[in-house]
Amino acid sequence: MNIFNDIVGWFTGIGNDITKPITDFFKSLAGQLAAALEAGILAVFKDLWDVVVGPLEILAGAVIIFIALGVMLRADVAGLAVL
């Protein structure tokens, strides 16, 4: 019985020696794929966010300019209203 355990242990050791590099390779590959997918998804969401925020920033800037012009030219506009 002791010899049988030694033989099984020997084959198990050989199996682990063969499969460990393969397992490590696939674990590394899976980690790299997950990182690439995460980076790609984040890049897509960032690009979409830039598409939404860009025009809103321009619109907000235009509104601020029109308000500033309205405040600065308020007296002139009121003078034109009398005519």
pLDDT in tens, the chain (83 residues): 577 776 677 667 776 677 788 888 888 999 899 999 999 999 999 999 889 898 999 999 999 999 999 888 888 877 777 76
| Dist. CA 53–CA 51, nearest whole Å | 6
**Cα angle at 30 between 27 and 31, to 5 degrees?**
85
- Quick check: pTM over 0.85? no
| Dist. CA 72–CA 66, nearest whole Å | 10
Q: At what angle are helices 74-82 and 2-72 packed, to 10 degrees?
A: 40
Model pLDDT, residue 73: 87
Domain limits, the chain: 2-82
